[in-house]
C-alpha cells in the first residue's frame, strides 16, 4: 500500500500552497471520474491529492454577457443546461459520457482528461511501475505499442513517430471551434491562453500534453458569444449511439449570408492527437455557396494530411462525411 495525502482547501491560494508544499507527485483533483481510474490502473501514482471542488467561486457559470464564463469546477450537466442556445457547446456536453458522470465531472477536469489509448491505460497494472506495454506518454522513451499494433481507435492527424494516441474529449473540440480561452492560476500568478495553445502535439514528448506549469490549476474557461456560436452543432459518430467516445466528430459554427457562408469554424474530435482545428476546411467554406458537395470538399480538405495506421484508415472517409454532415446540420439551424 502506498500512502496518499488528501486535502480539500476552500480558497485558490490555499490550494496552490497545498500543491507547492507537497512533493512532485501532487495532483489536483475535481470530480475524480477519470483520475481515480488512472490511479487504479497504476498510470497515475500521486502521493498528494489537492481537491479543488470546495474552492469558493470556482463553479461559476455566467452566460449573460458577451463572454460566456465557466468556472473550472462547474459540472458538465450544469453547464450543458446553461448553454442550450449554443448548440455546439450543449451537444458536446450532452453527448459525452453518461448523465451520472456528467453530474459528477467538471468542465475543467474535462479539458484535462488524458487519452483513452488502451496501451496508455491498460499497460500498467498496480503491481507494475513500467507496465506491460511500452507507452511514451506513460513512460517517456519506452516506445509506442500502438504503432503497428491494434490501432483502430488511434489518431490519423497530429501523430508522431512517438505517439498516435487520440484526444478523446468532446467539449474541448467545441471550445476549439469557438476560440475559447483557458484561465490558470499558480505560484507565479494568473494568466490566460487560447485553448489552441493549451494542447500540445505529441512530437517526441508525448508525455507533455498541456501548457500548464507546475502548481498551476485551471480556474475558468471563457468563450466569446459570437453569432456563429448559435448556428452550430457538435456531430459525434461512435460505435454505439450513447455512452461511447467518438470515432469521428466535428464541431461546426457558421455565419451565413443567405446561402453563402460568411465565416466557418470547424474542429475535429476522435481523429487527432489534440482537439483539432480544421482551418483548411474553413477556407473551403468561406465565401462559398453552401451545397452538400462543397461541405464534402471541406471534409476532404480537413483530412488532406491524415496519416492512417494499420486498422484506422476508415476514419478518413468517416471523418469527411462527419464534417459534411455537421456543416449541413449547422447551416440548417434557425436563429
Ligand X SMILES: Cc1cc2nc3c(=O)[nH]c(=O)nc-3n(C[C@H](O)[C@H](O)[C@H](O)COP(=O)(O)OP(=O)(O)OC[C@H]3O[C@@H](n4cnc5c(N)ncnc54)[C@H](O)[C@@H]3O)c2cc1C
- Select from 199, 177, 155, 162 the least CA-distant residue to 306: 155
Does position 207 interact with ligand X (CB under 6 A)? The reply is: no
Complex with ligand X: residue 53 or 284, whichever CB lies closer: 53
Complex with ligand X: residue 59 or 297, whichever CB lies closer: 59
Does position 115 interact with ligand X (CB under 6 A)? The reply is: no
Complex with ligand X: residue 97 or 266, whichever CB lies closer: 97
Q: Which residues, 218 to 247, sit near ligand X by CB under 6 A?
A: 218, 245
Q: Which cell numbers hold the place of 75?
A: 459540472
160: CB partners within 8 A, 6+ apart: 201, 202, 203, 204, 206, 273
Does position 27 interact with ligand X (CB under 6 A)? The reply is: yes
Does position 169 interact with ligand X (CB under 6 A)? The reply is: yes
Instruction: Pick one of 29, 221, 252, 267: the residue that binds ligand X (CB under 6 A).
Output: 29
Do 266 and 299 meet the contact criterion of CB atoms below 8 Å apart? Answer: no
Complex with ligand X: residue 43 or 146, whichever CB lies closer: 43
Instruction: Pick one of 30, 80, 177, 284: the residue that binds ligand X (CB under 6 A).
Output: 30
Do 156 and 316 meet the contact criterion of CB atoms below 8 Å apart? Answer: yes
- Select from 281, 282, 323, 309 the least CA-distant residue to 156: 309
Does position 110 interact with ligand X (CB under 6 A)? The reply is: yes
> Residue with C-alpha cell 457559470?
61
- Select from 108, 101, 79 the least CA-distant residue to 91: 79
DSSP three-state, residue 323: helix
Instruction: Pick one of 9, 22, 28, 124: the residue that binds ligand X (CB under 6 A).
Output: 28
Does position 316 interact with ligand X (CB under 6 A)? The reply is: no
Interface contacts to ligand X, rule CB under 6 A: 27-35, 52, 72, 96-97, 101, 105-106, 108-110, 112-113, 169-171, 217-218, 245
Amino acid at each position: 500500500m502506498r500512502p496518499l495525502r488528501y486535502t480539500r482547501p476552500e480558497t485558490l491560494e490555499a490550494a496552490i500552497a497545498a500543491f507547492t508544499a507537497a512533493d512532485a507527485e501532487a495532483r489536483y483533483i475535481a470530480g475524480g471520474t477519470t483520475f481515480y481510474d488512472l490511479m487504479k490502473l497504476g498510470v497515475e501514482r500521486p502521493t498528494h491529492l489537492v481537491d479543488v471542488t470546495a474552492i469558493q467561486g470556482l463553479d461559476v457559470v455566467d452566460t449573460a454577457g458577451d463572454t460566456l464564463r465557466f468556472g473550472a469546477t462547474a459540472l458538465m450537466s450544469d453547464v450543458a443546461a446553461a448553454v442550450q442556445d449554443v448548440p455546439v457547446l450543449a451537444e458536446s456536453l450532452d453527448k459525452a459520457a453518461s448523465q451520472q458522470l456528467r453530474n459528477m465531472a467538471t468542465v475543467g477536469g474535462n479539458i484535462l482528461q488524458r487519452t483513452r489509448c488502451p496501451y496508455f491505460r491498460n499497460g500498467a497494472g498496480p503491481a507494475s511501475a513500467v507496465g506491460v506495454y511500452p507507452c511514451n506518454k506513460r513512460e517517456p522513451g519506452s516506445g509506442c505499442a500502438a504503432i503497428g499494433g491494434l490501432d483502430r481507435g488511434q489518431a490519423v492527424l497530429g501523430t508522431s513517430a512517438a505517439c498516435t494516441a487520440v484526444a478523446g474529449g468532446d467539449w474541448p473540440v467545441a471550445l476549439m471551434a469557438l476560440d475559447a480561452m483557458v484561465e490558470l492560476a499558480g505560484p507565479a500568478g494568473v494568466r490566460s491562453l487560447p485553448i489552441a495553445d493549451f494542447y500540445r502535439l505529441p512530437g517526441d514528448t508525448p508525455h507533455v500534453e498541456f501548457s500548464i506549469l507546475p502548481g498551476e490549476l485551471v480556474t475558468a474557461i471563457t468563450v466569446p458569444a459570437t453569432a456563429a456560436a448559435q448556428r452550430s452543432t457538435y456531430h459525434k459518430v461512435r460505435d454505439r449511439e450513447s455512452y461511447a467516445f467518438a470515432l469521428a466528430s466535428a464541431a461546426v459554427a457558421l455565419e451565413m449570408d443567405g446561402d453563402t457562408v460568411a465565416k466557418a469554424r470547424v474542429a475535429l474530435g476522435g481523429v487527432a492527437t489534440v482537439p483539432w482545428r480544421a482551418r483548411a476546411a474553413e477556407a473551403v467554406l468561406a465565401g462559398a455557396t453552401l451545397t452538400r458537395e462543397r461541405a464534402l470538399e471541406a471534409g476532404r480538405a480537413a483530412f488532406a494530411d491524415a496519416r492512417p495506421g494499420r486498422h484506422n484508415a476508415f476514419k478518413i472517409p468517416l471523418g469527411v462525411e462527419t464534417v459534411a454532415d455537421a456543416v449541413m446540420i449547422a447551416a440548417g439551424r434557425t436563429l
